[in-house]
Every structure is written in C-alpha cells, then in structure tokens.
Amino acid sequence: MAEQIKHPFPPLYDENSKILILGSFPSVKSREQSFFYGHPQNRFWRVVSTVFGCETPETIEEKKCFLHSNHIALWDVIASCKIEGSADSSITNVVPNDLRPIIDGSRVERIFVNGRTAEKFYNKYTREVLGRDAVYLPSTSPANAAKSLDRLVAQWREIAEQ
C-alpha cells in the first residue's frame, strides 16, 4: 500500500545555476542515498556527463562538483506524495515543491523535465505559478528501457545548447 512520503533531501543549486532539471520524485534508492538518481540502472549521470563531455561522476561529491561546474540545478516537482516503491505510475496525493526559491536564487534560464511524470505534474502545479514552460526530455529511468543510451544522449544534448 502506498504511503505519504516527504522528499528527503534538498534541491541542489547555487547562484550560478542556469539549467534546472526536474524529476518527479526520488526512487527508493535515491531516498536511501539522499541524493538524485541513485539507482545504478538510472542513466541520468551517464547521459548528462556524455552531453557535457565529462567523465561520469561516481560519488555524491563528484556529482555535486559536476553539476555546479556545468551550472545545473537539480530538484523534483513533488515535495510529498503517496507512492508504492519507486513506481511513478502509483503517485497520488501530490504536494508540489515551491520552485521560486531556486528561480529567485539563481540565474536559471531554462527548465527541463526528466520524463512524462515530471512533465505532467510540472504542467499541473508549477507552470502557471512560475509563468515558465519546461522542456520535456525522455526519462533516464531504467523503466524507459526502450530508449537506448545513444538516443537519450542525442535528445538530452539540448541541455548544453545556449
């Protein structure tokens, strides 16, 4: 049975962040690690590091350094929800995150959503509040196995274009 869970860790951004990438809600593995995209089969870190021509960061500190050096902010659309395990399809009772502190405390120019669930909840709860559209990118989740790593990288290249 799904239980209401609060997002267990803060957003990652600084005053120099120009790109905001939003997921839906952290997976069980990410919640255990208290950091983004913690499932070993999630291709997020391989995709974004390839897009920026960098080695794939392994540790949380390496990931933070990678994000800051490439002016990327990470957060999730959902502050709390009912969810069974890591299944986005089970998400109900959504309470959205307030993204205004990130927008106000950074130089974010473009907002991207990682997958259809993030897109759906961004459009439902956040787009009108911020007055800004988000660009959809295909999910890096292992559940999106139909997309090859090469196809994901090709579609995610948009985050590096200025």
Q: Can you give the pTM of this predicted structure?
A: 0.96
Secondary structure (3-state) at 117: helix
Q: Which of 8, 16, 11, 5 is nearest to 105 (CA)?
A: 16
CA-based end-to-end distance of the chain: 44
CATH of domain 3-7+21-160: 3.40.470.10
Tokens, residue 100: 């205004």
- Specify whether 42 is catalytic: yes
Domain ranges, ordered by start, for the chain = 3-7+21-160
How many secondary structure helices (H) and strands (E) does the chain include?
7, 7
Helix (H), strand (E) at residue 127 = helix 127-130
Instruction: With beta carbons less than 8 A apart as the criterion, state whether 83 and 90 touch.
Output: yes
Going residue by residue through the chain (162 aa), what tens digit of pLDDT does each one get?
677 999 999 999 999 999 999 999 999 999 999 999 999 899 999 999 999 999 999 999 999 999 999 999 999 999 999 999 888 889 999 999 999 999 999 999 999 999 999 999 999 999 999 999 999 999 998 878 788 999 999 999 999 986
Alpha-carbon distance 37 to 28, whole Å?
10
Buried b (16+ CB within 10 A) or exposed e, 25-42: bbbeebbebebbbbbeeb
| Options 16, 42, 70, 97, the catalytic residue | 42
Alpha-carbon distance 62 to 148, whole Å?
25
Instruction: With beta carbons less than 8 A apart as the criterion, state whether 25 and 91 touch.
Output: yes
